[in-house]
Structure 1
Amino acid sequence: MIRIALAEDNNFLAQSIQEKISFFNDLTLKFRAKEGNDLLAKLDSDHNIDVILMDIQMPRMDGIVATANVKEKYPQIKIIMLTVFDDEANIFKSIQSGADGYLLKDEDAETIHNSIVEIMEGGAPMTPSIALKALKLLRNPVKPSEEPPKKNYELSVRETEVLEQLSRGLNYNEISANLFISPATVRKHIENIYRKLQVRNKLEAVNLANKERLI
């Protein structure tokens, strides 16, 4: 049995990852932490963990800093960055901090399972697009000043509020009640969000919003 810990502050994304893990009898989720300090505290209580699935953007202590801390204290624990961030700077920083693998959150359950098994066998699993960027980094290390400018998706204030509510895993009626607008208005805002972000569903919208720091 491979013992897993998950570091993820977003409840919706954490639930999605937990569901993917639950499909496999050889994986068990021991605990979830909501940010780096929380992860380190939980490891102090129980560091009998094989693999950590680590988000990057978390409050208080992010995943890159947390990875460095875990590797210093518990070098035997394998860490897979499981994130929406596929930019060169985060890949480089993650590898520097000691990450053993790097996957995007939209990978299917089988890919995540196979990557966990691979990392326990000494491999270094990476989403193919990440591996390509990592190879390019070896040839031409990125500098912070070279990061591309943030794209303007032209979301309205209300659309951003609805997107933030979506990221919490809330449904149309809950968003309607929280923002004091009708469910039909919520639906219209979500249609506009999908169109502006050029995504097809809630998971893609939330992933892109986190990646582009729209919320």
Structure 2
Amino acid sequence: MISVLLADDEAMIRAGVKAILAADPEIDVVAEAADGREAVALVRAHRPQVALLDIRMPRLDGLAAAAQIRQLVPETAVVMLTTFGEDDYIARALGDGASGFLLKSGDPRELIAGVRAVAAGAAYLSPRVARRVLALGGERMARGPAARDRTATLTEREREVLALVGAGLSNAEIGRRLFLVEGTVKSYLSTIFSRLGVRNRVQAAIIAYEAGLVDAA
């Protein structure tokens, strides 16, 4: 069972998201919060596998809440809920350790897929959010064509692993796809992160998109 903390200051949005997640019998919303401070407190109390946070919330916004959660309860993966009107917030969140970005108005199946992906240790960018992230943060993080130069330093196997990270696969899924043990996948990722100069899977996924290793359509 995947435990989830859901935080949004709009009760209607919380109810809608909770109803979508309830369609998956393996996902359990264990707590709900109406602001960032409450979200942090509930994550500390319940220690869910996934914290699903709205970016704009009172008292403490989603980005600040995410930073505190990553510091206080690092085992909880953070997914940011965004809208196309929050471009500045998305750009700020790129390097802050979020494991995923989901669009509030996106396909409900993406919400479930995103929660499942980050719970399994993967990064998840819904395709429409990925295009916005690339437009906003790609130049800063990968400097456009330079991404291809950076990934050119990787071995063929490392590029395969990076492409699968960009596609949202967990370490276990990458291992099954490439016939590798999970420990070997982790070793590859450590080398990839070091060579690309990134800190987390989302940043690596963005470079994978920029380099053309993943289809963002």
Task: Indicate whether the TM-score tops 0.5.
Answer: yes
SS at match of 2:24: coil
Deviation at 1:135, TM superposition (A): 2.5
SS in 2 for 1:93: helix
Partner residue, 1:3: 3
Residue 109 of structure 2 aligns to a residue whose secondary structure is helix
Structure 2 distance, partners of 1:140, 1:37, is 30
TM-score scaled by length of structure 1: 0.61
Alpha carbons 1:20, 1:108 under 8 Å: kept: no
Which stretch shifts more, 121-130 or 54-63? 121-130
TM-score, structure 2 length as denominator? 0.60
SS in 2 for 1:96: coil
Partner of 1:13: 13
Deviation string 1:54-76 (CA, Å, 9 cap, x unpaired) is 00111110101000000011111
Asked if the contact 1:65/1:97 (under 8 Å) is kept, the reply is no
Which deviates more, 13-22 or 79-88? Answer: 79-88
For 2:51 and 2:11, locate their aligned partners in 1 and report how far apart those are by CA, in whole Å.
Answer: 17
User: Is 1:54 the equivalent of 2:50?
Assistant: no
SS of the residue 2:92 aligns to: helix
**Alignment-derived partner of residue 98 in structure 2:** 99
2 CA distance for matches of 1:103 and 1:86?
A: 13
Change (3 A) 1:39 1:70: same
- Secondary structure of the 1:9 match is coil
Q: Give unpaired runs (5+ residues) of structure 2.
A: 142-217
Equivalent residue pairs, number: 140
- 2:71, 2:100 → 1: CA distance? 17
Structure 1 pair 86–117 and aligned structure 2 pair: CA distance change class (3 A)? farther
Structure 2 residue 72 is matched with structure 1 residue 76: no
- Once the two structures are TM-superposed, the CA of residue 110 in structure 1 deviates from its matched residue by 1.9
How far the C-alpha of 1:123 sits from its partner, in A, is 2.1
Deviations 1:77-135 (A, max 9, x none): 11111122454321121222221100111123322111111122332111222212322
When Rg is computed on C-alpha atoms for both structures, the one with the higher figure is 1
> What RMSD in Å do the two structures reach over aligned CA positions?
1.7
Tell me which amino acid in the other structure corresponds to 1:90. Y
Which position in structure 2 is the counterpart of 1:43? Answer: 43
Change (3 A) 1:33 1:103: same
Q: State the partner residue of 1:121.
A: 120
